[in-house]
Amino acid sequence: MQIVFNGRTVEASASTVSALLAEMGLGEERLAVERNRVLVPRRLWAETLLAPGDAIEVVQMVGGGAAG
């Protein structure tokens, strides 16, 4: 099915958010996921179903910065 993943249209065979992250080669550590502009809590990733045309945004949290 076609979905929009981080702003680009892609073909995906995954049926859940968790499966999509695996299909895209992303680990589940330090990620935030939105489905159709709604934040999906991590505990619901395995049961949140995807549908054709869904817009998925994934943001990876990074730490760091300059100490001063």
pTM: 0.86
pLDDT digits (tens, 9 = 90+) for 42-51: 999 999 999 9
Q: How far apart are CA 54 and CA 36, in angstroms?
A: 6
60, two tokens: 């990876």
Ranges assigned E (strand) in 1-68: 2-5, 8-11, 31-35, 38-40, 55-60
8-state DSSP, 12: -
Secondary structure of residue 53 in the 3-state scheme: coil
| Distance (Å, whole) CA 16 – CA 24 | 12
Domains in the chain and their CATH numbers?
Answer: 2-60 (3.10.20.30)
pLDDT tens-digit readout, 21-36:
999 999 878 899 999 9
Q: Which pLDDT band, with edges at 50, 70 and 90, does 68 fall under?
A: low
